[in-house]
Amino acid sequence: MANLQSNFVGIKSPNPFWLASAPPTDKEYNVVRAFRAGWGGVVWKTLGEDPPVVNVNGPRYGAVYSGDRRLIGFNNIELISDRPLDVNLREIKAVKRDWPDRAVVVSLMVPCEEEAWKRVLPRVEETGADGIELNFGCPHGMSERGMGSAVGQVPEYIEMVTRWCKQHTRMPVIVKLTPNITDIRYPARAAKAGGADAVSMINTINSIVSVDLDQMAPNPTVGGKGTHGGYCGPAVRPIALNMVAEVARDGDMAGLPISGIGGVETWRDAAEFLALGAGNVQVCTAAMVYGFRIIEEMQEGLGRWMDEKGYNSIDDVVGRAVPHVTDWSHLNLNYIAKAVIDQEACIKCGRCYIACEDTSHQAITATKDGARHFEVLSEECVGCNLCVSVCPVENCITMEQLTEGVDPRTKAPISSEHLEWTAHPNNPMRRAAE
Amino acid sequence: MGSTVKLFKTAANGKLAPSDIESNFDDLHPILSSEYAVVEASRCLYCFDAPCLNACPTEINIPKFIKQIYSGDADGAATTILSENILGGTCARACPTEELCEEVCVVTQTEGAPVKIGQLQRFAVEGLIEKGEHPFRRAPETGRRFAVVGAGPAGLAFAHRFTMLGNSVVIFEKREKPGGLNEYGLAEYKMAGDFAQREVAFLLQIGGIEMRYGKALGENIALDQLKTEFDGVFIGVGLGDTRKLPASGVTLPGVEDAVEFIDRLRQAPAKADVSIGANVVVIGGGNTAIDAAIQARCLGAQNVTIAYRRGAASMSATAWEQQLAAANGVNFVHWASPHEFVGKERIEAVVFNRMELVGGALKETGEKMTIPADCVFLAIGQAMSHVGLDGLTLDGGKISVNEQYQTSVDGIYAGGDCTATGVDLTVQAVEDGKQAAICADALLRKRSANVAE
User: Using one digit for the tens of pLDDT, what is the confidence trace for B304-347?
Assistant: 999 999 999 999 999 989 999 999 999 999 999 999 999 999 99
- Is the separation of the CB atoms in B62 and B56 below 8 Å? yes
Which residues contact residue A130 at a Cβ distance below 8 angstroms, ignoring those fewer than 6 apart? Answer: A11, A41, A96, A103, A104, A105, A171, A172
Q: What is the pLDDT of residue B12?
A: 67
Mutation target for B interface from A66, A72, A349, A357: give the one with most B CBs within 10 A: A349
Q: Which residues of B touch A353 (CB under 8 A)?
A: 48
Chain A and chain B share a number of CB contacts under 8 A equal to 40
Q: Tell which A residues from 100 to 159 touch B, by Cβ distance under 8 Å.
A: none
Q: Which residues of A touch B106 (CB under 8 A)?
A: 347-349
A69 vs B38, B107, B109: nearest CB: B38
Looking at the complex, report in whole angstroms how far the Cα of residue B267 sits from the nearest Cα belonging to chain A: 41
For residues B242 and A253, give the distance between their C-alpha atoms in angstroms, rounded to a whole number: 88
Contact yes or no for B47 and A349 at CB 8 A: yes
Query: How many Cα neighbours within 13 Å face the side chain of B431?
Result: 17
For residues A318 and B207, give the distance between their C-alpha atoms in angstroms, rounded to a whole number: 72
Q: What is the pLDDT of residue B420?
A: 85
Phi-psi region of B180 (alpha: psi -120 to 50; beta: other; left: phi over 0): left
pTM over 0.90: no
B106 vs A66, A67, A347: nearest CB: A347
B51: closest chain A residue by CA = A349
- Is the separation of the CB atoms in B118 and B1 below 8 Å? yes
Q: Which residues of A touch B39 (CB under 8 A)?
A: 67-69
Q: Which residues of B touch A351 (CB under 8 A)?
A: 45-48
Looking at the complex, report in whole angstroms how far the Cα of residue A302 sits from the nearest Cα belonging to chain B: 28
| 3-class DSSP state of A64 | strand
Q: What is the pLDDT of residue B1?
A: 42
Contact yes or no for A349 and B49 at CB 8 A: no
| 3-class DSSP state of B365 | strand
Contact yes or no for A347 and B48 at CB 8 A: no
Q: Which residues of A touch B45 (CB under 8 A)?
A: 349, 351, 392
CB of A35 within 8 Å of any CB in chain B?
no
- Three state DSSP letters for A239-307: HHHHHHHHHHCCHHHCCCCEEEECCCCCHHHHHHHHHCCCCEEEECHHHHHHCCCHHHHHHHHHHHHHH
Q: What is the pLDDT of residue B4?
A: 64
Looking at the complex, report in whole angstroms how far the Cα of residue A153 sits from the nearest Cα belonging to chain B: 37
> If we measure between CA atoms, which residue out of A55, A75, A77, A76 comes closest to residue A65?
A75
For residues B353 and A41, give the distance between their C-alpha atoms in angstroms, rounded to a whole number: 80
Q: What is the pLDDT of residue B2?
A: 44
Q: Above 0.85 for ipTM, yes or no? A: no
Task: Using CB atoms within 10 Å of the CB of residue A398, give its burial: 0 to 12 exposed, 13 to 18 middle, 19+ buried.
Answer: middle
A69 vs B35, B46, B48: nearest CB: B35
Contact yes or no for A68 and B110 at CB 8 A: no
Contact yes or no for B42 and A67 at CB 8 A: yes
A352: closest chain B residue by CA = B48
For residues A386 and A409, give the distance between their C-alpha atoms in angstroms, rounded to a whole number: 17
B68: closest chain A residue by CA = A67
Question: Which stretches in chain A have pLDDT values below 50?
Answer: 434
CB of A411 within 8 Å of any CB in chain B?
no
Looking at the complex, report in whole angstroms how far the Cα of residue A351 sits from the nearest Cα belonging to chain B: 6
Contact yes or no for A351 and B48 at CB 8 A: yes
**Greatest pairwise CA separation for chain A in angstroms:** 81
For residues B64 and B61, give the distance between their C-alpha atoms in angstroms, rounded to a whole number: 5
Question: Which stretches in chain B have pLDDT values below 50?
Answer: 1-3
Contact yes or no for A67 and B35 at CB 8 A: no
Q: Which residues of A touch B110 (CB under 8 A)?
A: 347, 392-393
Contact yes or no for A354 and B45 at CB 8 A: no
Q: Nearest 5°: phi and psi at B53? A: -60, -40
B67: closest chain A residue by CA = A67
Contact yes or no for A67 and B109 at CB 8 A: no
> If we measure between CA atoms, which residue out of B384, B31, B366, B408 comes closest to residue B238?
B384
Q: Which residues of A touch B46 (CB under 8 A)?
A: 351
Residue B143 CA, chain-centre distance (Å), reads 33
> If we measure between CA atoms, which residue out of A108, A91, A93 comes closest to residue A148?
A108
| 3-class DSSP state of B353 | strand
Mutation target for B interface from A210, A214, A347: give the one with most B CBs within 10 A: A347
Which residues contact residue A313 at a Cβ distance below 8 angstroms, ignoring those fewer than 6 apart? Answer: A2, A3, A5
A387 is catalytic: no
Q: DSSP labels for B420-433?
A: TSS-S-HHHHHHHH
User: Using one digit for the tens of pLDDT, what is the confidence trace for B334-383?
Assistant: 999 999 999 999 999 999 999 999 999 999 999 999 999 999 999 999 99
Looking at the complex, report in whole angstroms how far the Cα of residue B429 sits from the nearest Cα belonging to chain A: 29
Buried b (16+ CB within 10 A) or exposed e, A13-39: bbbbbbbbbbbbbbbbebbeebbeebb
For residues B413 and B161, give the distance between their C-alpha atoms in angstroms, rounded to a whole number: 14
Q: Which residues of A touch B35 (CB under 8 A)?
A: 69
B47 vs A67, A68, A351: nearest CB: A351
Q: Tell which A residues from 323 to 362 touch B, by Cβ distance under 8 Å.
A: 347-351, 353-354
The percent of chain B in helix, strand and coil, each rounded to the nearest 5, is 40, 20, 40
β partners of residue A261:
A282
Contact yes or no for B39 and A68 at CB 8 A: yes
Q: Which residues of B touch A69 (CB under 8 A)?
A: 35, 38-39
Q: DSSP labels for B80-108?
A: HHHHH-TTHHHHHHHS-GGGTTGGG-THH
Q: Tell which A residues from 389 to 408 touch B, by Cβ distance under 8 Å.
A: 392-393
- Write out the E strands in B65-193: 145-149, 168-173
Active-site pick, A138, A356, A381, A396 = A138
For residues B352 and B340, give the distance between their C-alpha atoms in angstroms, rounded to a whole number: 7
A394: closest chain B residue by CA = B110
For residues B444 and A96, give the distance between their C-alpha atoms in angstroms, rounded to a whole number: 89
A351 vs B39, B45, B110: nearest CB: B45
Q: What is the pLDDT of residue B368?
A: 97
B45 vs A353, A366, A392: nearest CB: A392
Task: Using CB atoms within 10 Å of the CB of residue B90, give its burial: 0 to 12 exposed, 13 to 18 middle, 19+ buried.
Answer: buried
CB of A372 within 8 Å of any CB in chain B?
yes
A347 vs B38, B50, B109: nearest CB: B109
Looking at the complex, report in whole angstroms how far the Cα of residue B262 sits from the nearest Cα belonging to chain A: 40
